[in-house]
Amino acid sequence: MMQSGNKTETLQNGIIVVTGTSTGIGNATAKELASRGFYVLAGIRREIDADAVCGKNIEPVILDITNEAHIANLVRRIKEDPEKRPLRALVNNAAIEINAPLEVLHLSEWRRQFEVNVFGQVAMIQALLPELFESRGTIVNISSIGGKAAMAGYGPYASTKFALEGLSDALHRELEPFGVRVIVIEPGGVVSPMSAQVRIKAEKITHEMTPEHRSRYGGLMHAMVSLAESYIKDAVPAEKAGQIIADTLLTKRPRARYTIGRDAAMVRFLNWTLPDRVLDKILSRSTQAHYPK
């Protein structure tokens, strides 16, 4: 789609929408794509976040992907683009992460996470597909290696990413006959403000547990935080993740899925090759090593 003799002209004449660009992967991806010549409509939830993503070829737009009016405004902005640039791609990155044992996390928090991480992605795809059909564009869904294998305590976030993986599979097969590509990105540990918030969120959830829940899951919550913080030390910088995502958009024949980070590649390999019981033991051991002594 974007590899041709007039590549430079194509890049300079295309819009890409990236959601969730205030920080982390979304921010880095928006800046990387802009540096390569795309005009990026960068979704932010608050005006105050515009400064973090502003730059050449980047236009911050207020976009809460659970807000129908925001999505309608974005569609109007694309249709009324003064330069008549086509929409080349949608990078579905916006997400929230709240993890706790299934028994503990309130149902409203489960619903909120699905609203953003699944239904918000669907809303964006449905709204922008008419423009992507016209340009034979690309949809990039930012999943997680947690969408392939879920460790104890990570059920809420992982279940939304499993759902995103499934809908991406179906979408790929639905859109391929029309020339619209669907690519799934599965990051492992990436340095971002979301990863830095793990301890704060876990401590809040643990504090709100009943004594009975705390006796059952207090050790697991401690282990989840310790494990997450140990991953951060070797995590991929957000800028590197942004480069990988940009590279996939410039690949003539991209694969359906890409991992980011050695940890993601390893989990994906183990998930493919090992029986469930063996994988259970490996994941359980990695968690148990972080329980309080």
* Burial per residue of 4-27, b for 16 or more beta-carbon CB atoms within 10 angstroms, e otherwise: eeeeeebbebbbbbbbbbbbbbbb
| Pairing, β 39-44 against β 138-142 | unpaired
Domains recognised in the chain with CATH numbers: 7-191+237-268 (3.40.50.720)
Interval 31-55 mean pLDDT: 96
Per-residue confidence (pLDDT) for residue 194, from 0 to 100: 65
How confident is the model over 229-238, as pLDDT tens digits? Answer: 887 777 899 9
Task: Check residue 293 and give its pLDDT.
Answer: 79
pTM (2 decimals)?
0.91
DSSP 236: B
Phi, psi for residue 57 in degrees, rounded to 5: 70, 15
Which pLDDT score is estimated for 201? 87
Residue 231 known to be catalytic: no
Q: Is the dihedral of CA 97, 98, 101, 103 positive or negative?
A: negative
Question: pLDDT, tens digit, for every residue of 176-201?
Answer: 999 999 999 999 988 876 666 778 88
Catalytic residue chosen out of the listed positions 39, 154, 157, 217 = 157
Q: What is the mean pLDDT of residues 129-156?
A: 96
